[in-house]
Amino acid sequence: MGPLQRVVLVARSHASGLLAAQLAGRQWASGSVPGVEVLGLVVVADAPGKLPAPLRDLQKLVSGGFPRTWTVPWAESWRLGRPPVDAAPRELARLARDLQTLTESGVPQ
């Protein structure tokens, strides 16, 4: 087998997105996806505002199956085109820093 492939799963925060992430996480955790190291899950808001309680609970449950989870909030400007980098949500900067650290380390976290 070749080198371990590091991946990040990305899901929208609606029910079908979270359930798809849960299924992918289960497949990875069961060992049925050899040669893959999942670094974490990125949950991208599917709408502005807070998640309804049932989705918040589902996200918490699904997140428990991953080594780490990042949440990216809704950004209306992204729907219309590429926003300026300085207008990006702070959560995106954290995600970028974490991924850089994880991928530069060369060692599974």
For residue 43, the SS3 value is strand
pLDDT, residue 8, reads 97
Instruction: Kindly state the helix (H) or strand (E) to which residue 66 belongs, with its residue range.
Output: none
Q: What is the pLDDT of residue 88?
A: 75
pLDDT value, residue 84: 67
The pLDDT of residue 80 is 79
27-50 pLDDT, tens digit each: 999 999 999 999 999 999 999 999
pLDDT beneath 50, residues of the chain? 107-109
Domain boundaries, the chain: 5-105
CA dist., res. 88 & res. 101, Å (int): 20
Mean pLDDT of the chain: 91
For residue 29, what is the DSSP state? Answer: H
In sequence order, the 6+-apart residues with CB closer than 8 A to the CB of 32 are none
pLDDT the model gives residue 109 = 43
Q: What is the pLDDT of residue 47?
A: 96
Location of structure tokens 């990305």: 10
